[in-house]
Amino acid sequence: MRLLIQRVNAASVTVGNKKVSHIDRGILLLCGFHKSDTIGNIPKMAEKCLNLRVFEDAEGKMNLSLMEINGSLLVVSQFTLYADCRKGRRPSFDSSMPPDDAQRLYNALIAEFRKSGLNVAKGIFGAKMEVELVNDGPVTIMLDNGAFQESRPTPSNI
């Protein structure tokens, strides 16, 4: 699972000329699911996202989390986060989870975020969406569930 976190002053999703969701200060979260992801990945990724200190405190340091500022979250599915561009000029999406399975994980991720009590908005899974944002900073951070596995470079995996 990959979560692209963008700290925003505002963000919205429009589908077919209709604005379907909007948030003010918070996080725009683009999420993609790898074909090997499971529902078991969701709680840890959600907890990390909600508590990542990416908002500035009174001294201008990134010391506050989304939970601490009582911010909003806009969750948008984006299978292209698993694009493989190593060969040729057309990205391959073979690593992305099939749509039906990805939609189940997307809904589970949103349900997990809603347990926080924060305002959680969402895009429409599988729709052609226009995503508009006012990036604050800009601050953009990629979380990957592989980041939770500690690994040290060795000659075989460099």
Instruction: State residue 17's pLDDT score.
Output: 95
Q: Is residue 96 part of a domain?
A: yes
Considering 38, 80, 140, 154, which one is annotated as catalytic? 80
**CA dihedral in degrees (151, 27, 114, 15; nearest 10)?**
-120
Number of domains in the chain: 1
**What is the rounded distance in angstroms from the CA atom of residue 40 to the CA atom of residue 104?**
12
Judge whether 80 counts as a catalytic residue.
yes
Q: Is residue 155 part of a domain?
A: no
Strand 18-23 with 2-15, pairing: antiparallel
**What is the rounded distance in angstroms from the CA atom of residue 52 to the CA atom of residue 60?**
16
Q: Which domain CATH number covers 26?
A: 3.50.80.10
Instruction: State residue 146's pLDDT score.
Output: 73
Neighbours of 76 (CB within 10 A): 21
Beta-ladder partners of 84: 92
Instruction: State residue 158's pLDDT score.
Output: 44
Q: Is residue 157 part of a domain?
A: no
Q: Is residue 158 part of a domain?
A: no
Instruction: State residue 86's pLDDT score.
Output: 93
Q: Is residue 153 part of a domain?
A: no
The whole domain housing 27 covers: 2-145
pTM of the model: 0.89
Could you give the residue ranges of the DSSP H alpha helices within 4-84? 42-51, 66-69
Instruction: State residue 70's pLDDT score.
Output: 98
**What is the rounded distance in angstroms from the CA atom of residue 5 to the CA atom of residue 87?**
27
Q: What is the Cβ-side half-sphere exposure of residue 104, based on CA atoms within 13 angstroms?
A: 11
Q: What is the Cβ-side half-sphere exposure of residue 41, based on CA atoms within 13 angstroms?
A: 22
Phi, psi of 156 (to 5 degrees): -80, -20
Q: Is residue 107 part of a domain?
A: yes
Q: What is the pLDDT along the chain (158 residues), one digit of tens a residue?
A: 999 999 999 999 999 999 999 999 999 999 999 999 999 999 999 999 999 999 999 999 999 999 999 999 999 999 999 999 999 999 999 999 999 999 999 999 999 999 999 999 999 999 999 999 999 999 999 999 875 544 444 445 44
Instruction: State residue 147's pLDDT score.
Output: 56
Cβ partners under 8 Å of residue 11, min gap 6: 22, 23, 26, 28, 74, 131, 132, 133, 134
Instruction: State residue 148's pLDDT score.
Output: 53
Q: Is residue 58 part of a domain?
A: yes
Q: Is residue 135 part of a domain?
A: yes
